[in-house]
Amino acid sequence: MAISGPQALSAALWPHQTSPFDRGLALRGSHMADVVIIGAGYSGLSAALHLAEQGMDVAIIEADQPGGGASGRNAAGWFPVYFDKGPDDITRELGPVQGDALNRMVVESARLVPALVQKYKMDADLRQSGIAILSESPKAAPAQRHLAQRWNDFGGNVDFLGSEAVRSIVGSDRAAHALLFRDAGTLNPFAYATGLANAVVDAGVRLFTGAPATHMEQSSDIWRVLTSHGSIAAQHVLIATEGYEANKTLWPGLEKHHYRLPFAIVASDPVPEFVERIMPAGIPMTDTNKANPFWLMADRDGRLVASLLPPLRDAASAADVARPLEKKLGRLFGALPALNWSRFWIGTVAVSAEKIPRLLSLAPGVHAIGGYSGQGIGAATAAGQEYAKLIVHGDRTACRLPFFDPRPVPLRRAFPFIVRNFAAPLGRATDRSYRAAPKIFVEN
Ligand SMILES: Cc1cc2nc3c(=O)[nH]c(=O)nc-3n(C[C@H](O)[C@H](O)[C@H](O)COP(=O)(O)OP(=O)(O)OC[C@H]3O[C@@H](n4cnc5c(N)ncnc54)[C@H](O)[C@@H]3O)c2cc1C
């Protein structure tokens, strides 16, 4: 059944600002490949592209269309960070070899995205403007300065900005300081997904669309992935469906390995003068307050685009969704012009137990990729590239992603309810202070 309302891909702004992908194949009958990939988001597409570049025969099975999941409807900021962790956490958790390798992968992902956009001549409205993370807490300054240093130790391009410098890029006097990730930026996320899909097809990959994979069968070391009208057999299978699994019979229990958290995005009518006032250097922003997630950018036409947790009840209009956001904007920027929020959509963020990019080893030859926890534009692109190295070299040490055994997350069903009904309202109520050094992006 087609999805309607704010969960539909067509509710998002991005597909309306680019051309649709029309090169998908219909899967009929039995096929073979070296690798079959389930899901055509950034993870699956990047894996396919990097495998095909190395001469592998690859087929993708996509339930809907490229970018039909989180990749086509996200908040558009590509950003070399982890959700809720810093590089020191990763080194501590994974050890210096694996941890440092993953930190470098994440840092480099910020340069990989523009490199692919340029190499494959994608029309994805890419702007490498940098992204600022604001903090209102002077007490957090030493930790933020340290964090910038640590990212730079892994090859990052991060500046710590004091209050004067922040004021030159953000039209607000509320921020005590900020981190500026200079390699980061924004793009049209759906156009990036379709751009990758076009590159993949040009590289010789068979991309089957409108074909939900329903089951997998094993015969010796070959896996057969089945849809209602056809199948593809391969030695290697990558499940790249993350929070948008279209079928629970494909790999029963896989959905238990992450939380599914709805996130809302609102877009205003164009307000170019206001955008110029609050983002004079064209730099989008987020902040360090995990309790009330906030992201603000402008699209190519001067629309404000912002993401936030959806409100308590299903909202009737974009204006309802944007109400708490407007409070925050008023507090940051003073008087607001009349903002007409003309569009809102809701996407599902998959938050994993590990909250880092990773491969789940499901069976010999079968992996599930993901773990980005809302930071997936760069990370999923890089993760797909790492999976390709694993398959091409046949060696885990060639791959910078950590491997985990499947591990169900606790309170999975209750989590979105708890976040939406308790954590989010509390976060909004306490947003005024955000004095306690928040853990997000901060080493402890
Ligand atoms: C609202 C929202 C805002 C976000 N904002 C940002 C942001 O600003 N910056 C950032 O870096 N990240 C952001 N993210 C996260 C980022 O979008 C994701 O991490 C990334 O897109 C994941 O890519 P993926 O390829 O792993 O999964 P997806 O893009 O979800 O792709 C999975 C694909 O698998 C397909 N599929 C599912 N089941 C089947 C099946 N049985 N058979 C065949 N195909 C199947 C789906 O149709 C889908 O196309 C956001 C996510 C959301 C939801």
Distance CA 405, CA 383 (A): 17
Distance CA 310, CA 323 (A): 11
List pocket residues of ligand 1, CB cut-off 6 Å. 38-44, 61-64, 68-71, 74-79, 212-213, 240-247, 250, 263, 265, 307, 347-349, 370, 372, 374-377, 380
The rounded Cα 52 to chain-centroid distance in angstroms is 23
Q: Ligand 1 atom closest to Cα of 61? A: 43
Question: Would you say residue 343 has pLDDT above 70?
Answer: yes
Distance CA 33, CA 313 (A): 46
List all residues 6 or more positions away from 392 whose beta carbon is below 8 Å from its beta carbon. Answer: 51, 54, 56, 398
Distance CA 246, CA 244 (A): 6
What separation in Å is there between the alpha carbon of 8 and the centre of ligand 1? 13
Decide: 237 and 35 in contact? Cβ < 8 Å: yes
- Among 385, 377, 382, smallest CA distance to 78 is for 377
Class of domain 5-74+190-258+353-411: alpha beta
Question: Would you say residue 88 has pLDDT above 70?
Answer: yes
Angle at 339 between CA 178 and CA 73, to 5 degrees: 70
Residue 442 is predicted with a pLDDT of: 34
Average pLDDT over residues 418-426: 73
Beta-carbon count within 10 A of 307 CB: 23
List all residues 6 or more positions away from 255 whose beta carbon is below 8 Å from its beta carbon. Answer: 245, 248
Domain ranges for the chain: 5-74+190-258+353-411
Residue 444 is predicted with a pLDDT of: 27
What separation in Å is there between the alpha carbon of 330 and the centre of ligand 1? 32
The best mutation among 244, 321, 345 to test binding of ligand 1, ranked by most ligand atoms within 8 Å of the C-beta, falls on 244
Residue 436 is predicted with a pLDDT of: 36
Residue 312 is predicted with a pLDDT of: 62
Q: How confident is the model at residue 1 (pLDDT cuts 50, 70, 90)?
A: low
Q: In whole numbers, what is the pLDDT of the chain averaged over residues? A: 92
Q: Ligand 1 atom closest to Cα of 345? A: 1
What separation in Å is there between the alpha carbon of 380 and the centre of ligand 1? 9
Q: What's the count of helices (H) and strands (E) in the chain, helices before strands? A: 11, 21
Question: Would you say residue 327 has pLDDT above 70?
Answer: yes
What separation in Å is there between the alpha carbon of 67 and the centre of ligand 1? 7
Strand partners, 359: 369, 403
Residue 401 is predicted with a pLDDT of: 98
Task: Give per-residue pLDDT as tens, 15-39.
Answer: 999 999 999 999 999 999 999 999 9
Q: How confident is the model at residue 441 (pLDDT cuts 50, 70, 90)?
A: very low
Residue 433 is predicted with a pLDDT of: 39
Pull the structure tokens for residue 363.
């069976």
- For tokens 């410098």, what's the residue? 165
Q: How confident is the model at residue 354 (pLDDT cuts 50, 70, 90)?
A: confident
Average pLDDT over residues 396-400: 96
Question: Would you say residue 277 has pLDDT above 90?
Answer: yes
Average pLDDT over residues 270-289: 95
- For tokens 């929070």, what's the residue? 243
Three-class SS of residue 311? coil
Residue 295 is predicted with a pLDDT of: 95
Question: Would you say residue 398 has pLDDT above 80?
Answer: yes
Residue 431 is predicted with a pLDDT of: 63
- H-type alpha helices, 353-376: none
DSSP 10-42: GGSSGGGGSPPP--PBP--EEEE-SEEEE--SH
Question: Would you say residue 331 has pLDDT above 80?
Answer: yes
Q: How confident is the model at residue 420 (pLDDT cuts 50, 70, 90)?
A: confident
Pick left, alpha or beta for residue 125 (phi over 0 → left; psi -120 to 50 → alpha; otherwise beta). left
Question: Would you say residue 430 has pLDDT above 50?
Answer: yes
Question: Would you say residue 287 has pLDDT above 60?
Answer: yes
Task: Give per-residue pLDDT as tens, 123-182.
Answer: 999 999 999 999 988 888 999 999 999 999 999 999 999 999 999 999 998 899 999 999
Residue 407 is predicted with a pLDDT of: 84
Residue 148 is predicted with a pLDDT of: 97
Average pLDDT over residues 329-348: 93
Question: Would you say residue 434 has pLDDT above 50?
Answer: no
**Atom 37 of ligand 1, nearest CA residue:** 245
